Structure 1
């Protein structure tokens, strides 16, 4: 599972999904716009130091607030098509609101692909005053030209960021993303099922996310259980604690397990992660069938569950792999 050594790119595919980087003004505000390839070629016309690149405009172009797991599967196919077509590196232009979600999801969906894939975007559209668009785009192309290891990374403001630990923490400025100090899962998988190969078909699945708050009702949890969701990311307190004295809530978790709903706990804290056995309030969740997400961020836990459940694996196999370090 170790990535191949970095090697300079000879042919880069740029996949344009929309996002702020190429937006233009409309009657309702900034909106995704076609024609970014020509603007990009004009901007980079004198950059002979960059590897040759091709351009593909995804359809439809979207504000990343409209990103979905269905779109992720199409993006995965576009990356694979680019590599099969002779490209040895891929740059995805993406809106920042869900960029961390998409990068995390693709780090799982493309596991095993021997190609570097960078995600970048901008906080202001290309061409406006003080925009970070060309800085991020040319920086990402330069990073691929110089050589990157296989796998998915974010590139923003000159920094490469790991998708399983990165989240958007600011709605302004040039540094919206931060790589959090999260605990690693303690056990690494030695082999993976064939169903998880990046070339195997996938299905999007419904994953719910439920943050714990003081006094949360078991009725809310039961509503998720009966919603048709196949997985639940439970955002717990601290090292993975929850309302263990609420027998109704614990019973609802046990019911989720009996209905084969995969429930994974992550921490609401920015640093650290889930360690169930520190407190009795955490051990009780484990006993009710809740899995530990270790130091996974919300974005990474959501993407990993999408990948595992969408691969057609059994309930017990998904549970086993969810607690292993796979990337």
Structure 2
């Protein structure tokens, strides 16, 4: 047993640790740890030691907020010298947002942080939780992984690239604009060329994740009042899901006026594509002109989840708007292809 890796398992909620009750599946304190102890493959000698910590109260991921992202990051930073790697157990509904946020908050940590969960509770027949947790623990014990990843089914994804693609399938997550980091099949394989190499020192965590950031999807005929509301006080940043390569309705004077008002208040605007497989190029079409004049930053091939989390983190770190705009266009945690 000498040299066995130690992995910190932070259970913040989600289906994986739930148990059947009269009202349906629900989280019950202590149930997850009990199930792990009763699962032989999770206690095998060639599996790292799992030290489980349960969040109080356990969260349904639909209730997760940016403050919860910071709480998870703080817990990991607090234990960074005592463990070889970390596994975060989380509900699937907002898992991609949390994985993206942790990728930005923990940039420079230099240790593996694996976000996972399940579609079926760990203690239920046919649970996918056993395999997801086992794969996550093994990836978290690797010396060549020094970043935040999302592991689900057979996919090992960069944390800031993942999106939820299925509400019920065991292969629930994908990364549409970037190849997976690896796969869990007969063997766990990782593409070393795609793994990040940590060179910078860890980034100090912000005191709070309290930057007000809005998210708005454009649609034909959208009233200008919606855009004005998304740019109103106390909003400091806005992610716009634009059409295609980043186009905007430049023929609507009311929308243009609302966008111009937001620009005058120096609100930081990030533009991502509504296309799952897409890349924003604000110089490709003339109809992107209003966004360019408003100082918007093209998010290239970032996911909506990554763009939102990145804007919340950067604004909460206290950077001035000009610096946030510059950092939005840079690859900080594997979230975009320059």
Could you tell me the TM-score, scaled by structure 1's length? 0.89
The Cα shift of 1:38 comes to 2.1
Q: Is the aligned partner of 1:299 residue 2:311? A: no
CA distance in 1, matches of 2:158, 2:204: 19
Q: Provide, for residues 197-225 of structure 1, a one-character-per-residue CA deviation record: whole Å limited to 9, x for no partner.
A: 13453432221110000011111111122
Identify the match of residue 26 of structure 1 among 21, 35, 42.
21
In the other structure, the counterpart of 1:217 is 223
Partner of 2:78: 81
Residue 157 (str. 1) matches residue 163 (str. 2): no
Distance in 2, matches of 1:198 and 1:152, equals: 16
Asked if structure 2 preserves the Cα contact closer than 8 Å seen for 1:182 and 1:296, the reply is no
Offset, 1:246: 1.2
1:5-54, Cα deviation, whole Å (9 max, x unpaired): xxx98221000011000112334432222111122122146411112221
Q: In 2, distance between residues paired with 1:220 and 1:9?
A: 55
Separation in structure 2 between the aligned mates of residue 282 and residue 60 of structure 1, nearest angstrom: 45
> What does 1:53-202 align with in structure 2 at a 5 Å threshold?
53-84=50-81, 86-181=82-177, 197-202=203-208
Superposed, which structure 2 residues align to 1:220-259 within 5 Å?
A: 220-259=226-265
- Distance across 1 between alignment mates of 2:65 and 2:33: 24
The CA distance in 2 between the partners of 1:310 and 1:200, in whole Å, is 6
Supply the distance in 1 between the matched residues of 2:206 and 2:4 (Cα, whole angstroms).
26
3-state DSSP class of the match of 2:210? coil
Which of the pair has the greater relative contact order for Cα pairs under 8 Å at 6+ separation?
A: 1
Contact 1:180 1:271 in 2 (8 A): yes
**Is 1:123–1:133's contact at 8 Å kept on the other side of the alignment?**
yes
CA distance in 1, matches of 2:101, 2:52: 22
From 6, 12, 15, the equivalent of 1:17 is 12
Secondary structure of residue in 2 paired with 1:226: coil
How far 1:229 sits from its partner (Å)? 1.8
Q: Which moved more, 1:210-219 or 1:126-135?
A: 126-135
